[in-house]
Amino acid sequence: MQKVYLDNAATTQVRDEVITKMQQALGEFYGNPSSTHSFGRSAKTAIEKARKTIAKYLNAHPAEIIFTSGGTEADNMILRCAVRDLGVKTIITSKIEHHAVLHTAQELEKEYGITLLFVDLDESGNPDITHLKKLLGHNDSKKLVSLMHVNNELGNIIDVNLIAQLCKDTGALFHSDTVQSVGHFKWDLAENPIDFLTAAAHKFHGPKGIGFAFVRRNSGLKPLIVGGSQERGFRAGTEPFHNIVGLEEAFIASYENLDVEKKFVTDLKKYFVEKIKNEIPEVEFNGLSGDLDKSTYTLTNVRLPFDTQKSLMLLFHLDLKGIACSKGSACQSGSAKGSHVLSEILSDEELSKPSLRFSFSKYNTKEELDYTIQVLKEFAEN
């Protein structure tokens, strides 16, 4: 049976050079980075080197990079600390954010009594900038806007430069969950006035369990996790040194090869979109995921012309054929509930049809896409 992995938005295959780097770290640099002896100093030096590497590619200052366990922790940390430490009384977000943002904002509404506002979305799932401007003037309270750069289900790309400047002009803070973006798009944080962003290594061929937050200098945020002086006092806990050097290696590889790999993956997506439209003409694309100019090159989300009964067996059938994709985000796939993202932009009739997210990487081939579409076509015809 052929094995085809098209769930790269959930997690990616770790690069060989990353595995090698992490094995070396586990075997040779086992000192506690907080220790003052040579074993500890060696580990600490490597961690600071990784911090400087990330900062260099993002055009940020090393002190603005805080290592976390991943995107979820980083999102929680920024939103919670902004309310607790910076006097944020109003959070403006959208109903199609990752649950790491949505659920955190809802908890903060309960715990601190903040005002939670949702920006209107157009029919494709993009935020209405006119409505966002209106919300920014809703009251005189300190505000934080949290909108993701690349939606993890639809692939829609928002204009973070425009929104960051709009927030700056109105005195609001701006946070963006960039987990689907960092490693796949270039950033210049000296030019973009964004206050906070988050990233996870396993989305760009690095290890799971490690990510980082960008926190603009002099933000005023205080630690969420206390109990030690690690991460310059911002996040307590012994650093997972092997994961940090793995993140660095994956980060370097992603950006050094970005142009070549972006073209390769873009060609894969274009091929997939064109072929599935030819083979299954009734297929529809959710959000802007079929538009190569307005969505990320790494994924597409298709709505298939199958009835409800047939839909129940679709993912099971694909799995039997060795094809991995996702019904919604990976965080949703084990749940009987439908996608909260698609529920916001599709009609009940459209929601009755099965939607699948196919996400691509440098490790995929056109032959794999041919096989996947053939399996879908045969399923539709039987």
The DSSP-derived string for 110-175 is: HHH--EEEE--B-TTS-B-HHHHHHHHTS-SS-EEEE--SB-TTT-BB--HHHHHHHHHHHT-EEE
Span 215-245, pLDDT tens digits: 999 999 999 999 998 998 899 999 999 999 9
Note the pLDDT of residue 331: 45
Measured in degrees and rounded to the nearest 5, phi and psi for residue 217 equal -55, 145
Residues of the chain with CATH 3.90.1150.10: 4-12+258-381
In tens, the pLDDT along 39-90 reads 999 999 999 999 999 999 999 999 999 999 999 999 999 999 999 999 999 9
Whether 357 and 295 have beta carbons less than 8 Å apart is answered as no
What does the alpha-carbon distance between residue 311 and residue 289 come to, in Å, rounded to a whole number?
21
Average pLDDT, the chain: 95
Q: What are the tokens at 353? A: 């049809």
pLDDT of 106-120, one tens digit each?
Answer: 999 999 999 999 999
For residue 175, what are the β-bridge partners?
146, 196
- If pLDDT is split at 50, 70 and 90, which confidence band does 330 have? very low
What is the distance, to the nearest Å, from the Cα of residue 35 to the centroid of all Cα atoms in its chain? 34
Q: What is the mean pLDDT of residues 142-152?
A: 98
Predicted local confidence at residue 311, as pLDDT? 84
DSSP category for residue 325? -
> In the structure, what pLDDT confidence band is assigned to residue 328 with cuts at 50, 70 and 90?
low
Return the amino acid letter for 238. Answer: T
Contact 342, 328 (CB under 8 A): yes
Q: Where are the CATH 3.40.640.10 domain residues in the chain?
A: 16-256
User: CA 294, CA 372: separation in Å to the nearest integer?
Assistant: 24
Alpha carbon 123 to chain centroid, angstroms? 22
Q: Report pLDDT for 254.
A: 98
Encode pLDDT of 158-172 as tens digits. 999 999 999 999 999
The CATH number given to 4-12+258-381 is 3.90.1150.10
| Catalytic residue ranges | 331
Query: Domain 16-256 belongs to what topology?
Result: Aspartate Aminotransferase; domain 2 (3.40.640)
Residues 16-34 have pLDDT tens digits of: 999 999 999 999 888 999 9
Contact yes or no for 54/212 (Cβ under 8 A): yes
Ramachandran category for residue 76: left, alpha or beta (phi over 0 → left; psi -120 to 50 → alpha): alpha
> What's the pLDDT score for residue 334?
46
Residues 6 or more apart whose Cβ sits within 8 Å of residue 306: 314, 353, 354, 379, 380
329, pLDDT greater than 70: no
pLDDT tens for 339-375 read 999 999 999 999 999 999 999 999 999 999 999 999 9
| pLDDT on residue 312 | 85
More confident of the two residues 233 and 334: 233
Under 8 Å between Cβ of 85 and 222: yes
One-letter amino acid for residue 169 of the chain: D
Residue 307 has pLDDT above 90, yes or no: no
Q: What is the pLDDT of residue 29?
A: 86
Kind and range of the H or E run holding 254: helix 241-256
Name the pTM for this structure.
Answer: 0.94
pLDDT value, residue 333: 45
Whether residue 195 is predicted with pLDDT greater than 80 in this model: the reply is yes
Confidence of residue 309 (pLDDT cuts 50, 70, 90): confident
> Measuring CA to CA, how many Å separate 163 from each of 194, 195, 291, 366, 369?
9, 11, 22, 37, 36
Q: What are phi and psi of 177, to 5 degrees?
A: -75, 110
Q: Specify the pLDDT at position 332.
A: 44
pLDDT at residue number 336? 52
Average pLDDT of span 291-315: 92
Which string of DSSP letters, residue by residue, matches 61-113? -GGGEEEESSHHHHHHHHHHHHHHHH---EEEE-TTS-HHHHHHHHHHHHHH-
Count Cβ atoms below 10 Å from residue 329 Cβ, excluding itself: 19
Q: Which candidate, 215, 157, 218, places its Cα nearest to that of 189?
A: 215
3-class SS at 8? coil
% pLDDT > 70, the chain: 97
